[in-house]
Chains A and B, each alone.
Chain A
Amino acid sequence: MTTSGAGLHFKATKTLHTAAGSQLLDMEFQLKKGSLLALYGPSGAGKTTILRILAGLTDPDTGYIRMNDEPWLDTGHHKHFSTRSRATTHLPTQSRSIGFVFQDFALFPQMTVRQQLQFALPKDADRHIVDDLLEMMELQELQHRKPALLSGGQQQRTALARAIARRPSLLLLDEPLSALDDEMRFKLQDFIGKAHRTYGLTTILVSHYLPEIFRLSDDVIVLENGRIQKQGPAPQVFLEEKISSKFRTTGEIVDIQPADIVYIVCILSGNNIVKVVATSTEIAGLRVGQKVMIASKAFNPIILPLG
């Protein structure tokens, strides 16, 4: 099994022990250099484990990782021959060109924002990137603060800036926006997108938030029970094929208000609030907070539940 060319080739199996019993994670995917992949799926599906295997923080049972023609992991391919085959290649975490943003950020409590970024620099690195990143993430004002005095969004930006400071080839984001409110999410999605393009990163984003996936990702992998269920661009993966429509977008219901005999459904789509008229029958399956698709078939837009 060899692949050439820039990008990531990932293949791994691992038995996961979850609350629901053990299940096998078994998946393979390739990712073009410079693209952004979203991993989507229910919790316990193995999304975080995939990131940890990529980072070398968790060992798979068998696996193969090649990033930009550099082998990171190769346990040998005889997975039926021996369950504990010895690693022929196992690059330690420190030697992999990665940036990892942890779910709870893992900022160093005793370092200021600026010190976190400086710490992340390799010895011979261009130190200007610290100021560039502080500016890009709008952290200049806060650069001498320690994490305890930062808000969730500020901590997230610091963690993102710190992960990028060493100019990694592969950026791994483990549900980095899950702890934030919606307004903050949109802003931070911008930061992630901007950083991804500016620094030519190949990025993997674990997320279970559809608007984010639609907005940021080139491709999505839907994981279920440790296996790839669907793969492709977000609209293709999440929207049912049977709807042929001219216009469609996704969003989250933020409000449902009765108005005379119909209902006004407010849907947050990207940064915009879209108001859609719906009948009492149509809103029956809808509730505030639900992720939906808005599609326009003939004249009236219709709302369809997602996920």
Chain B
Amino acid sequence: MIDWQPLWLSLRLATLTTAILLLLGIPLAWWLAERRRQWKALAEAVISLPMVLPPSVLGFYLLLAFSPSSALGRLLDHWLNIRLVFTFPGLVIASVIYSLPFMVNPLLAGFRSLPADLSEASRTLGKSDWTTLIHVLLPCLRAPLVSGAVLSFAHTIGEFGVVMMIGGSIPGVTRVASVAIYDEVQSTHYPEANHYALVLLALSFSILLLVYLINYRHNKSPL
């Protein structure tokens, strides 16, 4: 019988990562889009880095940063009593960094596609930036919000290199589905590996299908 725990862990990790990314990505993309400044190109490059960097490179540096022998790791360990290496919270933080561009980039493109006078009109009506964001801008960005959330979710489900580096393969803690497949193949348990692989394949496909269906419907209907 298939052990559902790695799949459950993957889902939990992806859900939590997506929730955090929504809270983090919306203000970040808004801030990047608000006023163009040369140095914001640097911020955008840093955010997009995980898209081109081998996951093992990102995982390696996160491992170094989070390890209790580093300054950051020591600080977290000593003052907050938090361990990020080989723990679930560590996986969440790594996943957030790893999937950040998948949330921020669609939102950034969305914010930039909105006419500037929408937020100006809201300001002339006496509304704060926050009210403008919630009531005027975000309702116009349903499609990028859905794309960003779904892609971040799918990308987190599919991550392997980063998880492997920073989480290892502790059952019930850091052994997510993608890592479980690798473990089963290592131990030549091909049928078990296939179980996990099939579930991930079906899940990834359904998620992408959903995104394209939503975008398709959105493009056909007027705002």
Give me the interface of A with B, judged by CB distance under 8 Å. 55, 57, 92-95, 98-100, 102, 104, 106-111, 119-120, 122, 146, 148-149, 162-163, 165-166
Q: Which 4 pairs show the lowest CB-CB distances between chains A and B?
A: A106-B121, A110-B139, A100-B124, A106-B117
A157 to chain B, nearest CB (A): 15
Q: Within 8 Å of chain A (Cβ to Cβ): is B128?
A: yes
Partner of B223, one of A57, A98, A122, A146: A146
Q: Within 8 Å of chain A (Cβ to Cβ): is B125?
A: yes
**Binary contact readout B109-133 vs A (1 if CB under 8 angstroms, 0 otherwise):** 0000001011011111111100000
Counting contact residues on chain B (CB < 8 A from A), the size range is 10 to 19
Partner of B118, one of A92, A98, A106, A148: A106
Contact A120 B125 (CB under 8 A): yes
Query: If the complex has contacts A100-B121, A102-B120, are A94 and B126 also in contact, measured as CB distance less than 8 A?
Result: yes
Query: If the complex has contacts A109-B140, A109-B223, A110-B140, are A94 and B128 also in contact, measured as CB distance less than 8 A?
Result: yes
Partner of A104, one of B117, B123, B135, B223: B117
13 A-B residue pairings within 8 Å (CB atoms): A92-B123, A93-B120, A94-B128, A99-B124, A100-B121, A102-B117, A106-B118, A107-B121, A108-B118, A108-B122, A111-B139, A120-B125, A149-B222
What's the Cα separation between A98 and B124 when bound, in Å?
Answer: 6
Partner of A108, one of B124, B126, B128, B136: B136
Q: A104-B117, A111-B139 are in contact. List 14 more A-B contacts (CB 8 A).
A: A55-B120, A57-B124, A93-B123, A93-B124, A94-B127, A100-B124, A106-B120, A108-B121, A109-B140, A110-B223, A119-B125, A148-B222, A163-B124, A165-B125
Query: If the complex has contacts A108-B136, A146-B223, A148-B223, are A102 and B121 also in contact, measured as CB distance less than 8 A?
Result: yes
> With a CB–CB cut-off of 8 A, which chain B residues contact A104?
115, 117
Contact B123 A57 (CB under 8 A): yes
> With a CB–CB cut-off of 8 A, which chain A residues contact B127?
94, 119
List the B residue with the shortest CB-CB distance to A58: B120
Kindly name the residue among B121, B139, B140 whose own CB sees the greatest number of chain A CB atoms within 10 A.
Answer: B121
